[in-house]
Structure 1
Amino acid sequence: MQEKAKHNYIHYINAMRLNRWPRSFSIIVGSLAALYTVGIAGQNFIAIGINFVLAFCVTFLICIVNYIINEIVDAPTDYFHPVKHSRPVVSGNVSIKILLLIALLFSGIAFTLSLLFFKHFVSISLFALLMMGFLYNIRPIRLKDIHYLDAVSESANNPIRFLIGWYALDPGQHPTLLYLICWWAIGAFLMFGKRLSEKKIFKEDEAKYYRKSLGIYTESALAKSMVVSSAVFFAAFLIMLINKLNTYNVLLLPISIVYIIWILYEAWKGKYLIDEPEVILKQPAFIFLMLLILAFIILSFFPAP
Structure 2
Amino acid sequence: MLDNGYQPAATMTTHRASFKEYLAIARLDHMTKHVFIIPGIVIAYAVREPSVEFTAALVFIGFMSAIAIASANYVINEWLDREFDAFHPTKSKRSAVQWSFSPQLVYLEYAIFAVVGLVLAYSVGTLFFYTSVLFLLSGLVYNVQPLRSKDRPYLDVISESVNNPIRLTLGWTMVDPTTLPPSSLLLAYWTGGAFLMAAKRLSEYRDITGAGGADLLHRYRRSFRYYTAESLTVSCFLYAMMSAFFIAVFLTRYRFEYILALPFIAILFSSYLWLSLLKNSIAQRPERMFRSKRLIASLVMVVVSLLFLSFVDLPLLYVIFEPSFVPADMMKPNN
Contact 2:261–2:302 (8 Å) recurs in 1:
yes
2:20 is matched with 10
Q: Which residue of 1 aligns with 2:67?
A: 60
For residue 189 of structure 1, give the secondary structure of its aligned residue in structure 2. Answer: helix
Give the distance between the partners of 1:188 and 1:108, measured in 2 at CA: 28
Separation in 1, partners of 2:194, 2:269: 12
Is residue 24–residue 63 contact of structure 1 (8 Å, CA) maintained in 2? no
**Residue in structure 1 matched with residue 138 of structure 2 by the alignment:** 132
- How far apart are the structure 1 equivalents of 2:187 and 2:201? 21
Counterpart residue type for residue 157 of structure 2: A
Q: Provide the rounded CA distance (Å) in 2 between the counterparts of 1:51 and 1:26.
A: 17
1:214 maps to what in 2?
224
Q: Secondary structure at the match of 1:27?
A: helix
The residue correspondences of 1:101-140 to structure 2 (distance < 5 A) are 101-115=108-122, 117-140=123-146
Q: Which letter maps to 2:92?
A: H
**1:264 and 2:273 equivalent?**
yes
User: Secondary structure of the residue that 1:190 maps to in structure 2?
Assistant: helix
Q: Which residue is equivalent to 1:3? A: none
**Match among 72, 75, 80 for residue 79 of structure 2:** 72
Determine if contact 1:193/1:267 at 8 Å carries over to the other structure. yes
Whether the aligned pair in 2 keeps the contact of 1:31 and 1:165 (CA below 8 Å) is yes
Structure 1 alignment gaps of length 5 or more? 1-6
Q: 1:1-305 alignment to 2 at 5 Å? A: 8-39=18-49, 47-115=54-122, 117-202=123-208, 203-244=213-254, 246-247=256-257, 249-273=258-282, 275-304=284-313
**Structure-2 separation of matches of 1:76 and 1:180:** 34
Contact 1:77 1:209 in 2 (8 A): yes
1:130/1:171 CA distance change after superposition, 3 Å: closer
Contact 1:272 1:279 in 2 (8 A): no
Tell me, what secondary structure is at the counterpart of 2:250? helix
Contact 1:39/1:301 (8 A) holds in 2: no
Going from structure 1 to structure 2, the CA distance change for 1:242 and 1:22 (only over 3 Å counts) comes to: same
Deviation at 1:243, TM superposition (A): 2.3
- 1:4 is aligned to none
2:287 partner letter? E
Alpha-carbon distance in structure 1 between the residues aligned to 2:114 and 2:67: 10
**3-state secondary structure, aligned to 1:62:** helix
When normalised by structure 2's length, the TM-score is: 0.82
User: Counterpart in 1 of 2:323?
Assistant: none
Distance 1:241 1:166 in 2: 16
Question: What is the TM-score of this pair, normalised by structure 1?
Answer: 0.90
What letter corresponds to residue 87 of structure 2 in structure 1?
Answer: F
Return the letter of the residue paired with 1:32.
V
Unpaired runs of at least 5, structure 2? 1-16, 315-335
- Most deviating of 153-162 and 292-301: 292-301
Equivalenced residue count is: 294
For the residue of structure 2 that corresponds to 1:269, the secondary structure is: coil
Q: 4+ runs of 1 displaced by more than 3 Å?
A: 93-96, 244-247
* CA displacement at 1:13 relative to structure 2: 2.5
Could you tell me how far apart the structure 1 residues matched to 2:223 and 2:119 are?
A: 37
Distance 1:293 1:119 in 2: 29
Read off the aligned partner of 1:79 and give its amino acid letter: A
Q: Deviation of residue 283 (structure 1)?
A: 1.1
- In the alignment, the residues of structure 2 paired with residue 251 and residue 95 of structure 1 have an alpha-carbon distance, to the nearest angstrom, of 53
Greater displacement, 85-94 / 144-153: 85-94
Label 1:141 to 1:244 Cα distance change in 2 as closer, same or farther (>3 A): closer
